């Protein structure tokens, strides 16, 4: 697969390196298909997103065929938010390419209470560049998603009570969230429209997102105002950064089916490199989009030895529903997610349940919330003697409740950057057996600045799709 990685990286830099910019920066791009009878995914992959008025009427407009519009509606890997969810971005026309860029970052300060609480100043962030080119009745995209978190999160983690998963300095991470890799995704995808209502797709990523779980939390519309990862991350969407991903997908107007092969191990501690591994794991996902406001999925996968310090494999099952309601002054997005890991070594089933919502009102205000119930069996992995004592008395699996509420207010600071100042707090429900170690009522408090790329909105010209 190493040769394939070099091909993907080479294609990306070749695509973005040539041509003259002739499009305009946009905040909202409405992709409107010109073909008569097309799938929902093709009709509106980036809804609510209008092109700005073009000062020169002769300037060429970005055009895509049906397959290209379908591919550009993807959020991460082959997953997508509800089609009515606005995707804020910049777009350009460069030669025969349609380029789009978007990204988001938080500068956060966290303060936690209780015996295991900690505090830290850090930044979570990501940037995505996409390029699309039509080829007859098909199209292909290349996508690069990058994060500076290996530099902006010092010490290889930020504090998050009851969070577990992966390692730092050779030890299991407990009460902390790891940074994302510098290369979050490098991918090439090809799609072709078959008949009038079907798209078929092949996706390859040296680093990418297989067809397993809901849209990952950094890109999920209902989580966009929360800087911290959900506690259920490693039971629902942790494979969004996986090595050697190969996916085949079939998309009809209201449903889709995908199958993936990928390397199951979680990323190593060197977050700056592209790692390698064989296709030793698999997943499958069915999705349903009855209207542009709804998206649902069920998925399952077999992950070979995902955790470096744990023996055995994992069988993961997930189901999720996301609803987005757009209105004049914003959107109201809500997700309900369930995820389960079956550990083949211990024979344990660990469950997670998440309810997450964000409502935007009067354009500049956001109220957000998240409620989780998560099973944890690694909270004392860094204290083996204590873990053995607990196993002999009360067990080592504990159900944690986490309840988060927050508010963000947009402020104008930089052009083309949607800047917000906000905060949230989380209250935890702790089982009696581990209250001596965490306290009866631990809590976490976040203050943050949020930055999101956003083109300048100027008017109502729409991006047209070329006919097949």
User: What tens digit of pLDDT does each residue of 7-51 get?
Assistant: 444 444 344 343 333 333 333 333 333 333 333 333 343 333 333
Smallest CA-to-CA distance from 274 within 181, 342, 389 is with 181
Distance of alpha carbon 225 from alpha carbon 228, whole angstroms: 9
pTM of this structure: 0.86
pLDDT tens digits, 334-344: 999 999 999 99
| β partners of residue 51 | 461
**Confidence at residue 199, expressed as pLDDT on a 0 to 100 scale:** 95
Smallest CA-to-CA distance from 89 within 102, 76, 80 is with 102
Domains of the chain: 2-464 (2.40.160.10)
Task: Please list, in sequence order, all residues whose beta carbon lies within 8 angstroms of the beta carbon of residue 318, skipping any fewer than 6 positions away.
Answer: 212, 213, 214, 236, 237, 297, 298, 299, 300, 337, 338, 339, 340
Residue ranges in 285-418 assigned as alpha helix (H):
384-393
Per-residue pLDDT of the chain in tens (468 residues, 90 and over written 9): 544 444 444 444 344 343 333 333 333 333 333 333 333 333 343 333 333 333 333 334 457 888 998 998 888 899 999 999 977 788 888 888 999 999 999 999 999 999 999 999 999 999 999 999 999 899 999 999 999 999 999 999 999 999 999 999 999 999 999 999 999 999 999 999 998 889 999 999 999 999 999 999 999 999 999 999 999 999 999 999 999 999 999 999 999 999 999 999 999 999 999 998 999 999 999 999 999 999 999 999 999 999 998 889 999 999 999 999 999 888 999 999 999 999 999 999 999 999 999 999 999 999 999 999 999 999 998 888 998 999 999 998 999 999 999 999 999 888 889 999 999 999 999 999 999 999 999 999 999 999 999 864 333 333 333 333
The backbone torsions φ and ψ at residue 317, rounded to the nearest 5 degrees and listed phi first, read: -125, 140
């Amino acid at each position: 697969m190493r040769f394939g990685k070099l091909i993907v990286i080479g294609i990306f830099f070749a695509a973005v390196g040539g041509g003259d910019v002739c499009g305009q920066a946009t905040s909202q791009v409405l992709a409107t298909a010109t073909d008569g009878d097309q799938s929902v995914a093709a009709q509106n992959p980036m809804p609510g997103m209008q092109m700005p008025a073009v000062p020169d009427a002769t300037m060429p407009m970005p055009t895509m065929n049906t397959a290209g519009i379908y591919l550009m509606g993807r959020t991460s890997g082959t997953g997508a938010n509800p089609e009515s969810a606005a995707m804020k971005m910049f777009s350009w026309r460069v030669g025969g390419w349609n380029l789009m860029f978007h990204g988001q970052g938080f500068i956060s300060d966290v303060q936690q209470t209780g015996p295991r609480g900690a505090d830290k100043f850090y930044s979570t962030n990501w940037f995505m560049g996409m390029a699309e080119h039509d080829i007859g009745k098909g199209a292909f995209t290349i996508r690069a998603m990058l994060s500076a978190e290996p530099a902006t999160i010092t010490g290889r983690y930020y504090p998050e009570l009851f969070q577990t998963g992966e390692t730092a300095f050779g030890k299991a991470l407990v009460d902390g969230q790891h940074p994302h890799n510098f290369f979050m995704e490098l991918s090439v995808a090809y799609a072709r429209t078959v008949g009038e209502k079907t798209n078929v797709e092949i996706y390859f990523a040296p680093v990418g997102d297989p067809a397993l779980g809901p849209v990952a939390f950094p890109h999920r519309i209902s989580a966009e105002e929360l800087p911290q990862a959900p506690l259920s991350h490693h039971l629902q969407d942790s494979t969004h950064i996986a090595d050697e991903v190969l996916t085949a997908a079939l998309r009809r107007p209201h449903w889709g089916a995908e199958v993936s092969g990928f390397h199951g191990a979680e990323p190593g501690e060197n977050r700056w490199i592209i790692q390698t591994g064989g296709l030793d794991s698999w997943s499958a996902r069915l999705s349903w989009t009855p209207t542009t406001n709804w998206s649902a999925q069920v998925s399952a996968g077999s992950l070979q030895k995902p955790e470096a310090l744990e023996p055995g494999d994992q069988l993961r099952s997930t189901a999720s529903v996301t609803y987005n309601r757009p209105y004049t002054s914003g959107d109201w997005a809500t997700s309900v997610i369930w995820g389960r890991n079956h550990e083949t070594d211990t024979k344990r089933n660990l469950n997670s349940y998440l309810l997450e919502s964000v409502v935007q009102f009067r354009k500049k205000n956001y109220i957000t919330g998240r409620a989780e119930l998560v099973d944890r069996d690694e909270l004392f992995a860094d204290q083996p003697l204590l873990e053995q004592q607990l196993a002999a008395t009360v067990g080592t699996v504990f159900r944690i409740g986490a309840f988060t509420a927050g508010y963000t207010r947009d402020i104008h600071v930089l052009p083309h950057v949607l800047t917000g100042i906000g905060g949230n707090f989380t209250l935890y429900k702790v089982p009696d057996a581990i209250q001596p170690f965490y306290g009866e009522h631990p809590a976490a408090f976040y203050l943050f600045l949020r930055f999101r790329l956003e083109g300048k909105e100027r008017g109502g010209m729409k991006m047209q799709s070329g006919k097949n």
